[in-house]
Amino acid sequence: MAEAEKPDRLDPRHRVTVDDVRQLMGASTPHFALQLRNRIRNLIAGLATDDPARRLGEQEIARLERLGFSGEVRGEPAEELRPLPSLGEDEISAYADSPARH
């Protein structure tokens, strides 16, 4: 996934909407989270602080940072799958120590 933006979103006359932010949010996985974060950050940069698209974008940026740096746990707790490499040690131990695992 590139950080390049759709040409119509780059047009200065384009009004950024909540739907623009949602279109970018739909593809979020740990692997692409930080690229999507950057695209959303650029998309909402010129919006007023009380703009609904900016507020949603800021929430999504925080979620994408968590996803990008901590990864995700795969499988069900009862399954014995090894954690994904993107998980940090604190996430691995939190998952392994969860009540559903015992």
Q: Give yes or no: residues 66 and 81 share one domain.
A: no
Q: What DSSP assignment string belongs to 11-73?
A: STTPPP-HHHHHHHHTT--TTTHHHHHHHHHHHHTTS-TT-HHHHHHHHHHHHHHHHHHH---
Q: Give yes or no: residues 3 and 47 share one domain.
A: yes
Predicted confidence (pLDDT) per residue in 2-52, tens digit: 566 676 776 778 888 898 888 888 767 888 888 899 999 999 999 999 999
Domain containing 93 equals 75-102
Examine the pLDDT at 57 and tell me if it is beyond 90. yes
Q: Amino acid letter at 81? A: L
Q: Give yes or no: residues 65 and 84 share one domain.
A: no
| Length of the chain measured in residues | 102
Q: Report the C-alpha gap between 93 and 8 in whole angstroms.
A: 45
Q: Give yes or no: residues 96 and 64 share one domain.
A: no
